[in-house]
Structure 1
Amino acid sequence: MTIVKALGCAALLGVSAQGFAAAFEFDRPGTGFGTSTTPVGKLAWEQSLPSASYVKSGDETTTTLNADMLLRTGLTDSLELQVGWDGPAWSKTKVAGTSTENDGLGDINVGLKKSIDLQDEQLSFAVLAQAVIATGNDEFSAQDDLYRLGSSVAYQYNDDVNTSISMFYEWQDGDWAITAVPTLQYQIAGPWSGFSELVYRKQESQDNEYALGTGIMYSVNDRMQLDATVGVDLDGSARSYNAGLGVAFLF
């Protein structure tokens, strides 16, 4: 599976999940990203605990665990710096009764997110410029550096429902790809909220890819959020599933 795996229909990792009960909007969980930025002088730490994926293709199965993280800090009132790491990872591949295990470290990514004021209380917009540096071990790396430009538009329908769509344009080793992530975020009860997303990805000279993701978030307080997600890839003959737990803090 690629690092930026498919955008699907409505359910897991997908787009930035905003904790409605929290005063600060975290970018996890999800495939997309939120439209707000970290306040100046504050640090957001978003950590998976970990994430897991399972892929079965014919008589081959692969299980992967990784603990990715993202650090965000405000540079100005509308601009933030992001530094991420795919973290430590472990995988087990089984073919015809024979198992092979690998472990190592993932890639590093650096980005800038800019929130743009649209002078609208319900509509918000942000752009993201990001570079993924292929510093990880071979089994857990993108192999070549990847450059990504993203945009996110969100519409706050009411106090309980928020809709958004994130778009990503990527370039890696001469190949282009586009990803779209429409997301629905909703208040459940009290500190509980949830999201559902569809992920669509099209890479040059490759077939379309689709995925669905959904999850729930629990706002412990204004500065801490817990999350749980699950998702499935819908393309190809292989069966592919993913799930994860996560925590986010604002310091």
Structure 2
Amino acid sequence: MNLRPALAFLASALVSASAFADPPDFDRPGAGFATTVLPAGTLALEQGLPTYERQRQDGFLDRTYTADSLVRIGLGGPVEFQLGGSAWNRLEERGQGSRRHAVGHGDTSVALKWAPAGSGDAGAFSWAALGEVTFANGDEDFGNGARQVSLGTTMQWKPDDTHQNTLYANLDRLKGRNTWTLAPTFGRKFGKNLLAYIETDAIHDAEDGNELQAGGGVAYEVGDHVQLDAYALHRIGRHGPSVVAGVGISMFFGR
């Protein structure tokens, strides 16, 4: 599956949309995803501009830049289709007296989200589940090298109009090994348009060991259908990327 033609087709559909429906909750930023789905027949594009990752391993220092894309399509009822990938990536590697860089595209993923209890009301509990398959069609430096299957859930509780708390749990199955992620997030709104949050990501990888990251981010609504975001996570411990950070934009298109 090639992501570029699919994204080009969907982008043309987005541009041709002339009217808007009510804005949804976006999946960016932070761990997990929104516990609501898009209205039937509407689209959303969530784009990293880009994501930055820094990791030191085996005497090498790697810096990776990723323009990650997520297209969401409302299918009706509590179901949503998602197409994800990264059409552009850049790797800068230094170590042991050598230096190299690579540019290419990453793997492509397809997913279905099911949100049987989605609600944005204060005092409400909501949850959603996401099943995803990631295909090994990326360039060598930017892909998994094998098909990956993922299953995750996000649970959210909004005690009032200002605060929201979520818990994200996910399992990735790749090359016969499991990676588990558990990430609580605590958010607070400042005014009508600004949301700030903190999060902690606890990751158990059967091959790379345990990872713990902590950080947070902000999301700012521009009008009713555009959101800007920025976030950063820092490693706590010895394993995993030392820094993960990014900025992004999310846009909702209805019809």
Give the structure-1-normalised TM-score. Answer: 0.85
Question: How far apart, CA to CA, are the structure 1 residues paired with 2:47 and 2:179?
Answer: 27
CA distance in 2, matches of 1:95, 1:118: 48
Say whether the 8 Å CA contact 2:211–2:239 is kept in structure 1.
no
CA apart distance, 1:237: 6.2
CA contact (8 A) 2:31 2:185 kept: no
Tell me the equivalent position of 2:52.
52
Structure 1, unaligned stretches of length 5 or more? Answer: 1-21
2:132 is aligned to: 130
For 1:40, give the aligned amino acid: A
User: Residue 81 of structure 1 aligns with which residue?
Assistant: 81
Distance 2:132 2:175 in 1: 15
Q: Return 236-245 or 80-89, whichever deviates more.
A: 236-245
Once residues 118 and 50 of structure 2 are traced to their aligned partners in structure 1, the CA distance between those partners, rounded to angstroms, is 36
2:32·2:153 contact (CA, 8 Å) conserved in 1? Answer: no
Aligned Cα root-mean-square deviation (Å) = 2.0
Q: Which structure shows the higher helix fraction?
A: 2
Output one character per residue of 1:93-144: Cα deviation in whole Å (capped at 9) or x when no partner: 1114531111111010000000112899610011111011111001000111
Provide closer, same or farther for how the CA distance between residues 242 and 125 of structure 1 changes in structure 2, counting only shifts above 3 A. same
What TM-score results when the alignment is normalised by the length of structure 2?
Answer: 0.84
Local SS of the residue matching 1:139: helix
Corresponding residue of 1:107: 107
User: What is the distance in 1 between the residues matched to 2:41 and 2:144?
Assistant: 32
In structure 1, the residue matched to 2:72 is: 72
Supply the distance in 2 between the matched residues of 1:51 and 1:62 (Cα, whole angstroms). Answer: 14
Match of 2:162 in 1: 160
C-alpha distance in structure 2 between counterparts of 1:163 and 1:31, whole Å? 12
Equivalence for 1:15 = none
Deviation at 1:60, TM superposition (A): 2.7
Following the alignment from structure 1 to structure 2, what is the Cα–Cα distance between the partners of residues 243 and 223?
Answer: 24
1:26 aligns with 2:26: yes
Unmatched runs of 5 consecutive residues or more in structure 2:
1-21
Q: Distance in 2 between matches of 1:29 and 1:118?
A: 18
Cα-to-partner distance string for 1:34-78 (whole Å, 9 max, x where unaligned): 100011111010000111112234753211111000000111121
% identical aligned pairs: 28
Larger relative contact order (Cα-Cα within 8 Å, sequence gap ≥ 6): 1
- How many residue pairs align between the two structures? 230
Contact 1:24 1:222 in 2 (8 A): no
2:90 and 2:106 map into 1 onto residues whose CA distance is: 10
1:196 is aligned to 2:198: yes
Corresponding residue for residue 179 of structure 1: 181
Who is 2:152 aligned against? 150
